[in-house]
Homo-oligomer: A and B are copies of this chain.
Amino acid sequence: MKQPAICPKFEKAVSLLSQKWTALVIYQLLSGTQRFSEIQSAIGISGKVLSDPLKDLEEKNIVKREVIPETPVIIEYSLTEKGRSIEPVIRDIERWSKQWVQEESTSS
C-alpha cells in the first residue's frame, strides 16, 4: 500500500533525519571529534539513546568511530566526508529555528 511518487533517495534522507537524535548528534559532531560521554552530556541523553543512532550513523558511513587504547579505553567519534556534507541542512534548520521558532516558557 505504498507507491511513492516521491524520490526514494529523498525519502531515505528524510527517514534518517526523522530518527529522534540523529540531527542533534550530527550537529554536535560538526564542532569536531568528540567522545561518547562528551556527546552524551552535551545533548543530555542516556547511553542507549545515544548508542542507537551512533551505530546507525556509523553503518551509513556518516560517522567514524575510533578506539583509542588508553586507560580506560576512549572512543572518539567524528564525521566522515558524507557526514560533513550534511552541514548545510543543519545550518538551515538552525537559521530557520532562530527566525521562526519561539521559545516556550516551560517554567514549572
Q: Indicate how many identical chains form the complex.
A: 2
* Number of interface residues, chain A, beta carbon within 8 A: 48
A45 touches B2 (CB 8 A): yes
Decide: A7 and B97 in contact? CB cutoff 8 A. Answer: yes
> Which A residues between 29 and 52 are near B, CB-CB below 8 angstroms?
41-46
> Shortest Cβ distance from A49 into chain B, in angstroms?
10
Structural contact, B10 and A27, CB atoms closer than 8 A? yes
A18-33 contact mask (Cβ, 8 Å, vs B): 1 or 0: 1110111001100000
In the complex the two chains form, what is the Cα distance from A22 to B20 in whole Å?
13
Other-chain residue from B14, B44, B93 in contact with A24 (beta carbon distance below 8 A) = B14
Known: A9-B101, A13-B101, A101-B9. A3 touches B44 (CB 8 A): yes
Besides A8-B104, A9-B103, A14-B23, 4 more A-B contacts (Cβ < 8 Å) are A1-B44, A6-B42, A10-B101, A17-B18
